[in-house]
Amino acid sequence: MTRKNYDQMILERVEKSFDLIIPISAVIAVFSSYIVSKSDQRSNFVYYDLIICLFLIGVYLLRRKIKIHTKIIIVALVTTILGTASLIQSGFSGTGVILIALSNLVIVSFLSKKMGYYYTGISILVFSLPPILLKANIIGYEGTIAYLLNNPSEWFLHIVAYLLFGLVMVVSINAIKDYLLENINEGKIHSDQLTQLAYYDSLTGIINKHRFVADMNKNKVEQGWVVLLSIRGLNLINSIYGSDVGDNVIKHVAKQLALSSKEGELVAKSGGNEFIWYSRSYDSDVMMNRLLILLENIHASAETIDMPAKFNLNIGFAGIDEPYENIARIIQKSSIALEQSKSSKGASITRYDLELENEFRTEEELRRFLLKGIENNEFYISYQEKRDCVEERVVGLEALARWQSPELGTVSPSSFIPVIEKASLSQTFGNMIIRKVLDEYSILESKYGVGIMISINISPVHLSSDEFSSFIIKETLSRNINPESIILEITEDSLIEDFEGISETLFTLRKVGYRISLDDFGTGYSSLSYLSRLGFDELKIDRSFVQMIGKDDRTINLVRAIINLKDTYGIDIVAEGVETVDQSEVLKMLGCNVHQGFLFSKPKPIELPLKS
């Protein structure tokens, strides 16, 4: 706040009081005129007081038309004139000094610093004028006070005293005003800083979610879209390139978002790696188009500024369906869309719809039951045999998780495994399954023979966790089970996420003796390069190929090509989902002898030995 604004603020505050003081002063003037007329011979003052009274009444009547500055100057002038008159009439002993000092005080307190100094100067001049004029015999003193007649030092002393008083007053009042102003400004700086902290993001300088919500509510938005954008893999960028690069990525996205947004739109940072954008676009196609252009701009400009890290965005957006729709609800909708977008691979843009939300709610419910299920031990293992169709014997078993939920009944792994992965429960769940299988291994050995091969499915997230190899090694060895009897089935997804990390884990595990199987071969990326680089022990032809045998001749060629990898890479080939004798025969003919499928065995839990 400037001094000018501050003085103006004071004026605004005193205006009401002034409007009250003026009529009161008018009444006092009438009263004073009455008293003077009764008790004093100085009849001039009767007229002065009456004139002043009329004048003040005039000012009061015109108070709405007259500015406060003018009113103060009028009051000050009136008191000064009266004071001077009194001074001439009665010297220093009259009310003149008080009146002049008062007018000075009013000006200095309520008008600007400059005005205060000018006025003080003028009043000092005015104050010194009568004695000078008297001394020079220009005006005459008609009073009866002796010292005023022929005592120059008395005059001088009074003038100096007033001069000092005027100066002290103008300096101290201005110092107090400056000090108060400084405090106000300091307080404002603090409150600005607090506002900055409370409503702005310190890294990007854009508003935060609180402010976004407040502004959305204030603006009473009636239509448009709320978009949530999340930077994918920011944690990885921070750990690989350092947090400075991560910060630059955030700033870069914020800048591009700000550039894309138009007047009346809002961009805010809603979380560590998340932005929220209110867009006024009317049509969903237009909105989609803007998002595509935004993504393109973000990536194109990242290249020009030589950003070392590659990053992607997940975007979810929801429309404002009805005017003044609850903003919290719209954000919730966009975040459902964002979650959906996050669950897909790579960058993606998802628009909210009710079906999506219902799916989410079902998934959320499933997640809750899953947590409870893990806690309450509602899972068990079913085993499916792998049969060598030439030697006519069971060569191994695949452990498949089963969930018997009291609320939902029997739930298939294809429904609950994806939810487990999304809910970050892969490790807890995976460890539980590994323990269960290893606990039952001795029973399987007693049924299928010592050293029977047992396959366990390992989810990509579980496999890439740091503790995975140490956990499984510890659990296996503590039960005196030979790691060579255990096959870990992994899918190609595991390799895509973190090839280097996974290959290291697999290398360690193979060295200890575990066998590694590539499950569902043919459904993923099926890159042959990692087959040679990683050294698998087994490859499982996906059920979808097996089931096309006899229906599509091209599939036979593909299956044949996969089976031939047996010789190229020296790995065992297992066919999954064999349901018919024909499929089994064709597979045998093509050179694949180990089959797993309903034809030979459905997955079933082990029969526990009867307790004696």
Residues that bind ligand C2E (CB under 6 A): 384, 400-401, 412-414, 417, 433, 457-459, 489, 519-520, 543, 576-579, 596-598, 603
Please state the length of the chain: 612
393-405/409-411 β-pairing: antiparallel
Residues binding Mg ion: number (CB under 5 A) = 5
Nearest distance, CB of residue 228 and ligand C2E, angstroms: 30
Residue 549 C-beta-side C-alpha neighbours within 13 Å: 25
363 binds, among Mg ion, ligand C2E, none (CB under 5 to 8 A by kind): none
* Contacts (CB under 5 A) with Mg ion, residues 7-26: none
Q: Which amino acid makes up residue 270?
A: S
Cβ atoms of 277 and 265 within 8 Å: the answer is yes
CB of 459 to ligand C2E, least distance (A): 4
The residue among 489 and 572 lying less far from ligand C2E, judged by its C-beta, is: 489
Name which of 233 and 413 has its Cβ closer to ligand C2E. Answer: 413
Asked if residue 385 binds Mg ion (CB under 5 A), the reply is: no
In this chain, which stretch among 42-50, 165-173, 486-494, 604-612 interacts with Mg ion, using CB under 5 A?
A: 486-494
| Binding partner of 562, given Mg ion, ligand C2E, none, CB within 5-8 angstroms per partner class | none
Helix (H) or strand (E) holding 337: helix 327-342
Kindly tell me the sign of the dihedral angle through the C-alpha atoms of 168, 171, 173, 179: negative
User: 256 by DSSP, 3-state: which?
Assistant: helix
559 vs 610: CA distance, rounded Å: 44
Q: Which positions from 434 through 463 interact with Mg ion, judged by CB under 5 A?
A: 457
Q: Least Å distance between CB 333 and ligand C2E?
A: 31
- Can you state the angle between helices 96-110 and 3-39, rounded to 10 degrees? 160
Identified binder of Mg ion from the candidate list 201, 363, 489, 493, rule CB under 5 A: 489
For ligand C2E, which is the closer residue by CB, 34 or 598?
598
Q: How far is the CB of 608 from Mg ion (least distance, A)?
A: 24
Instruction: Using CB under 5 A, pick the residue from 201, 363, 385, 519 that binds Mg ion.
Output: 519
Q: Which does 412 bind (CB under 5 to 8 A by kind): Mg ion, ligand C2E, none?
A: ligand C2E
593 binds, among ligand C2E, Mg ion, none (CB under 5 to 8 A by kind): none
Cβ atoms of residues 523 and 542 within 8 Å: yes
Residues from 571 through 610 that contact Mg ion (CB under 5 A): 576
Contact 206, 268 (CB under 8 A): yes
The entry of ligand C2E, Mg ion, none that residue 400 binds, CB within 5 to 8 Å by partner kind: ligand C2E
233 close to 312: Cβ distance less than 8 angstroms:
yes
- Among residues 49, 274, 378, 520, the one that binds Mg ion under rule CB under 5 A: 520
CA distance 195 to 408: 50
Q: What DSSP string runs through 43-92?
A: HHHHHHHHHHHHHHHHHHHTTTTS-HHHHHHHHHHHHHHHHHHHHHHHGG
Task: Please report how close the Cβ of residue 428 comes to ligand C2E at its closest, in angstroms.
Answer: 12
Closest distance between ligand C2E and the C-beta of residue 414, in Å?
5
What span, in angstroms and rounded, lies between the C-alpha atoms of 47 and 41? 12
By CB under 5 A, is residue 547 in contact with Mg ion? no
The site for Mg ion (CB under 5 A) is made up of: 457, 489, 519-520, 576
